[in-house]
Amino acid sequence: MFMNRKNEIRKIVKEQLAILNKPLYEDKSYRIATQLYQDRSWRAAKTIGVTISNFPEVDTYQIIRKAWELGKRVVVPKCIPAQKQLIFRTIESFTDLETVFFGLYEPVEELTTAVDAESIDLVIVPGLAFDRSGFRIGFGGGYYDRFLADYHGGAISLAFQAQLFEELPVEEHDIPVAKIITETAVIVADE
């Protein structure tokens, strides 16, 4: 039942995001990034964990560039499918990335260094749908829920307003983020 409902929500959100035109996408992504840069957790973080976005996810390229400009270390996850695990690796340039399954960009192991989760101050957690309690529906792999189970740093998500729901189906293993930043608001979970 949960999986059917989650898949239904994934489909709805993908359809809504697919109609975003490029100018609107860029504007909304920029407004989200601007809100992020004002956030205390961003300003305090020395090491930022972030995925490389694929349209229509909120653009993270500009966020990564800003982090580099500010002297922050940027770490990007590499998926280990056999264990459904994420290993974050430091990137210093977009040329440190390669295309892997589903058109995702991940760090090239030979060009990057793995970092321990404890050294990541803030992780920007991707997802398709979010609720005001900080719960999210991801892309179905469960990688981030596994990572967040043992992670003790800050965890936030970036989302377009269209990705917000009042309530999502939640399973025992689902782990909420502390904050969701949209183009119009900063939602602190359970406030």
Q: Is 154 annotated as a binding residue?
A: no
Q: Is 7 annotated as a binding residue?
A: yes
What are the domain boundaries of the chain?
2-188
Q: Is 21 annotated as a binding residue?
A: no
* Class in CATH terms, 2-188: alpha beta
Q: Is 30 annotated as a binding residue?
A: no
Q: Is 71 annotated as a binding residue?
A: no
- Please tell me the predicted confidence (pLDDT) of residue 189: 85
Q: Is 142 annotated as a binding residue?
A: yes
Top pLDDT among 181 and 189 is at 181
Condensed to tens digits (0 to 9), the pLDDT of residues 144-180 reads: 888 998 899 999 999 999 999 888 888 787 888 999 9
Q: Is 57 annotated as a binding residue?
A: yes
Q: What percentage of the chain reaches a pLDDT higher than 90?
A: 62
H/E stretch holding 37 reads: helix 22-38
How far is it, in rounded angstroms, from Cα 132 to Cα 90?
A: 31
Number of neighbouring beta carbons within 10 Å of residue 99:
10
Q: Is 52 annotated as a binding residue?
A: yes
Would you place residue 191 in the very low, low, confident or very high pLDDT band (cuts 50, 70, 90)? Answer: low
Condensed to tens digits (0 to 9), the pLDDT of residues 94-134 reads: 999 999 877 889 999 999 999 999 999 999 999 999 999 99
Q: Is 8 annotated as a binding residue?
A: yes
Q: Is 103 annotated as a binding residue?
A: no
Q: What is the DSSP string of 109-177?
A: GGG-EE--GGG-SEEE---SEEETTS-EE-SSS-HHHHHHHT--SEEEEE--GGGEES-----TT----
pTM of the model: 0.91
- Please tell me the predicted confidence (pLDDT) of residue 2: 55
- Please tell me the predicted confidence (pLDDT) of residue 51: 95
- Phi, psi of 40, deg, nearest 5: -60, -40
